[in-house]
């Protein structure tokens, strides 16, 4: 995982949002741009914070738990997970 400082992606998001009547440039100051590299793929993530952990479960169960964590923002340290 890599972090991009002075991210052009976040800057472009802020510029695109300027047309919004409630635009708040300060809301973009807390964002972080992370790049996660895999064998054949690259995942760009813009977030305020992140949590890493492990899930010891069958692949399908691990995917379901990870998707639930993304939806809720809560990573459960149950079923072998670790924060």
- Write out pLDDT tens, residues 14-42: 999 999 898 988 889 999 999 999 999 99
Range of the domain at 37: 1-50
Q: Are residues 4 and 42 in the same domain?
A: yes
DSSP bridge pairs for 58: none
Provide the domain count of the chain: 2
DSSP bridge pairs for 54: 82
pLDDT on residue 76: 64
Q: Are residues 44 and 81 in the same domain?
A: no
DSSP string covering 45-70: EEES-----B--S-HHHHHHHHHHHH
**Is the pTM of the predicted complex or chain greater than 0.85?**
no
Q: Are residues 1 and 36 in the same domain?
A: yes
Q: Are residues 71 and 36 in the same domain?
A: no
Q: Tokens standing for 17?
A: 């949002």
The rounded distance, in Å, linking the Cα atoms of 49 and 61 is 24
Q: Are residues 7 and 37 in the same domain?
A: yes
pLDDT on residue 82: 43
Q: Are residues 61 and 42 in the same domain?
A: no
Q: Tokens standing for 29?
A: 């100051």
């Amino acid at each position: 995982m890599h972090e991009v400082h002075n991210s052009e992606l976040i800057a472009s998001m802020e510029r695109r949002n300027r047309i919004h009547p409630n635009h708040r440039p300060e809301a973009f100051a807390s964002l972080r741009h992370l790049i996660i590299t895999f064998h054949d793929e690259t995942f760009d993530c813009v977030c305020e914070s992140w949590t890493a952990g492990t899930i010891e479960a069958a692949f399908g169960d691990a995917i379901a738990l990870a998707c639930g964590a993304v939806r809720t923002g809560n990573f459960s340290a149950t079923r072998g997970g670790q924060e």
